[in-house]
Every structure is written in C-alpha cells, then in structure tokens.
Amino acid sequence: MLKQLKRLNWNFALPIALILLAVLIASWLLRDKPTMSRGDRKTPPPTVDTVVAERGQFPLTVTGLGLVTARETVELQPQVEGRVEWIDYGLGPGSTLERGQPLLRIEAEPYQLALQTARSTLAERRAELQQEEGQRAVAQEEYALLGATLPEADRALVLREPQLAAARARVDSAEAQVRLAERDLRLTRITSPFTALLVSRSVDVGDRVAPGTELYTLAGAERFQIEVEVPASRLRYVSSPDTEVRIRGSQWPEDQYRQGDFVRAIPVLEEQGRLARVLVELKDPLAIDDPSQPQLLLNDLAQVEITARTTSDRVRVPLTAVQDGDVVWIVQGNRIQIRPVNIEYLSDDYAVLASGLRGGERLVTTRLTTVTSGMPVRVAGEEPVQRPEALGMRAPGAEGEPRQRQMPPQGRRGE
C-alpha cells in the first residue's frame, strides 16, 4: 500500500516539474526582447524638389502665330484698250516674275498709226513756227525803219508777237501729242512692275481689254509681312530697334527658322481679346536669291518668335516655383518660408520678377496640399539623419551594447 502511494506521488509531481521548468525558460528568453515604446510617433517631413532663383539679364521672348501676306498686292489692268495678241503662257499661277518681265501684248498697230500722225502734226506745227518767226523778223525791220514810237499793246501787234506765241503753243501741243502717242504704244506691252509672285491670270489671247479690265493678280515677292498678336503689357518690351525676330513656316522642320525684321507696332488694340499687334517682315521669302533657304508660303500660318533684349538685371524663376500666382516657397534650414513676389512678365517657362527675391534663393517646385510658414521639409537628394528615438525604438537591456542571448544548459531527464 505504501509503495503504491509513493509511485502515485511521483507520477503526479513529474509533469508539474516539467511545466514549471518550461515556464522559467520562457520567462528568461522573453526578458531581453526589445520592446516598443509608446511615445508619440512623429510624421516625417515631406520631401520636396527645389530650384535656385537666377539673377541676370534675361531676354523676353513672345511667340505667336500670324497670317503671311504680301507687302504689295496688285491687280494689273491695261491703260489702253485693244485686242490681246500675245500672252506668255509659260507663266502661270505660282510663277516668279522679275521686274519688267513681259506678260502680254495688246495689238499695237492703231497706236503706231496714232504716233505717226502725231509726229506729222508736230512737223507741220514746227514749220508754221518757222514761218511766223520769219514774218516777225520782217515786222521788226519795218518798225525800225518807221522810227515811230507806239504804245506797248500796239507795238506787240505790229511785231506779230501774239501770232508767234500761238505758233509756239501749237508746237508744244504737237510735241505733247507725240509723247502721248509714244506712251500709248509703250503701254500695249504689259510687264511685271516689280519682282512678284503670279497669283492668277484672267485673260487670254483674242480678248478685248480696256482700262478697268483685270489681267493678272500679282503679289510682291521681295518681302512678306506677318501681323502677330502680343499681350499689350509686353508691347513696350518688343518695340525696340534691337528686337530679334525668328520666323518658321508651318511646313518647315521643327528646328528650322529664318531671320525676320521688326517693322513697327500697330497702335490698335483688338476689340475682343484686347491684344496688341506688331508687324514683322521676311526678306526674300521665296528664296529667289538663296535657294538653300526654305520658302515661306503666301497665306501660311507662320510661327513668329520675337525676342527683346533687356539692359537691367532681373530675377528669373521657373513657373513651377510660383505658387498661387504671386507667392514662392523658400527653403531655409529645411523649413519653408512663404514670400510674395511681383511678376514683371512671363517668358516661355519662366517668370521674370520685378521684386520679392534677390537671386540665389532655393525655391520649392513640388505641389503641397497644406503649407505653413516654418513647416519642416526634406530636400530631395539630401540624406536624412536617422535616430532610433525618431522611430520610437528602445535599445534592449541597459545602456551600451545589446546583450547576447545565452541559452541555459539542457539538463538530462531523470528516470
């Protein structure tokens, strides 16, 4: 009975001892485990991109589109009437004409006959003048022999001065008729009045034409003009003699331009958009003198870049650095300062400032939802300083290096 009781106590105590040993080992293992502190978690500052404000003399560039027109556009009409007897059919729309190049000819025979008649009449009038001059010489001799003194009016009649003046007038009139007949004969040949682009032809051989009949439409090929709309606030900058003009046709490659000339500012504002207009020109637009240049087509919608030089220093910042229209965010000591600025004008992707910055400031270009003055930020590309306290972590154990875990020796199980 006693042996059975001892065996029963041993069977009951052994499991309890094993459980207690497991609890002690687990508590020892968990004693050195790092723990998370429940301090306040801090939100990391936002990361921003920045640029540096530039200071210097920056040109103002205004870009716009304008319709290409000819500086001279004429509708050729004859100054004499008659039948068209010859046309240069080798010249059609799009042909380039030189100054004085023949285009058509009106029947010239009637005008040749008129010139011959006028010359004959002139010869008669000159002969009459010679006769009258002879009669006047005779009258002067007779008056001298008479030895009498007459009033001035009677003396002029005696010396045949009125008759001589009339003869001279008839000669002058006949000479004018000859010059008029020569002019009419010359006008039977229609030529190009200047270097031109032939736009259209409205007549054929055999047609009868007269003053008022449209023969050709020509556009001057020496210079083409373009009117460009610009904001009225920038007109005073681009209206200077040293303004640089670059012109690109709509059919040209993206990087190909030709140098143009600034002509004048047109002092009339557009009624709807309240925009000003400037006039620019391109010399030799059809590349007649220099065939290596691209041709600018008439009625094309060309792109014009007008660049004005400035003489004073300004501060320039990218448009991405301008917040809410007239505010910039400056980064100093990894904190934001909000500063208002005064924008003088916009040029391409930049804003040129009249005041507010001195140049060299670091400006935020990243869009942030909420910004307050003094708000901490982290500049992209700069390595932040990481501390365990910043993450709410506490080093295990006491001060110093963390202790290594030591496993207790495994004891042998008793039998």
Phi, psi of 238 (to 5 degrees): -90, -5
| The residue type at 272 | Q
Please check whether residue 209 is in contact with residue 78, taking contact to mean a CB–CB distance below 8 angstroms: yes
Mean pLDDT, rounded, for 210-233: 93
Phi, psi of 137 (to 5 degrees): -60, -40
**At residue 133, does pLDDT exceed 80?**
yes
* Among the ranges given (15-29, 67-81, 383-397), the one the predictor scored with the smallest mean pLDDT: 383-397
Helix, strand, coil proportions of the chain in percent (round to 5)?
25, 30, 40
The tokens describing 245, both together, are 């003009």
Q: What is the mean pLDDT of the chain?
A: 83
Please check whether residue 268 is in contact with residue 242, taking contact to mean a CB–CB distance below 8 angstroms: no
Q: Which residues pair with 229 in a beta bridge?
A: 277
The tokens describing 297, both together, are 């087509």
Between CA 199 and CA 60 the distance in angstroms is 38
Between CA 403 and CA 410 the distance in angstroms is 21
pLDDT at 396: 43
pLDDT in tens, 141-196: 777 777 677 777 767 777 778 888 889 999 999 999 999 999 999 999 999 999 99
Between CA 294 and CA 280 the distance in angstroms is 18
Residue 110 confidence class, pLDDT cut points 50, 70, 90 = very high
Please check whether residue 69 is in contact with residue 225, taking contact to mean a CB–CB distance below 8 angstroms: yes
The tokens describing 20, both together, are 């207690």
Between CA 235 and CA 262 the distance in angstroms is 12
Between CA 207 and CA 408 the distance in angstroms is 126
Please check whether residue 201 is in contact with residue 121, taking contact to mean a CB–CB distance below 8 angstroms: no
Please check whether residue 379 is in contact with residue 341, taking contact to mean a CB–CB distance below 8 angstroms: no
Q: Is 269 helix (H, G, I), strand (E, B) or coil?
A: coil
- Give the DSSP letter of residue 386: P
Between CA 86 and CA 187 the distance in angstroms is 14
pLDDT at 399: 42
Q: Which residues pair with 302 in a beta bridge?
A: 66
pLDDT at 206: 94
Please check whether residue 380 is in contact with residue 24, taking contact to mean a CB–CB distance below 8 angstroms: no
**At residue 77, does pLDDT exceed 80?**
yes
pLDDT in tens, 244-297: 999 999 999 988 999 999 999 888 887 776 788 999 999 999 999 999 999 999
* Topology of the domain comprising 48-57+313-379: 2.40.420
Nearest to 299 by CA among 81, 19, 94: 94
pLDDT at 3: 53
Residue 109 confidence class, pLDDT cut points 50, 70, 90 = very high
Q: Does domain 61-71+222-308 have CATH number 3.40.50.2000?
A: no
Please check whether residue 261 is in contact with residue 272, taking contact to mean a CB–CB distance below 8 angstroms: no
Phi, psi of 159 (to 5 degrees): -85, 5
**At residue 85, does pLDDT exceed 60?**
yes
Q: Which residues pair with 69 in a beta bridge?
A: 225
What value, to the nearest 5°, has the Cα angle with vertex 216 and ends 214 and 221? 140
DSSP assignment of 214-256 equals: --EEEEESSEEEEEEEEEGGGHHHH-STT-EEEEE-TTS-TT-
pLDDT at 242: 77
pLDDT at 111: 96
Please check whether residue 381 is in contact with residue 365, taking contact to mean a CB–CB distance below 8 angstroms: no
**pTM of this prediction exceeds 0.75:** no
pLDDT in tens, 363-377: 999 988 888 889 999
What value, to the nearest 5°, has the Cα angle with vertex 158 and ends 153 and 159? 100
**At residue 413, does pLDDT exceed 50?**
no
Between CA 130 and CA 127 the distance in angstroms is 5
pLDDT in tens, 34-74: 555 555 567 788 889 999 999 988 888 888 999 999 999 99
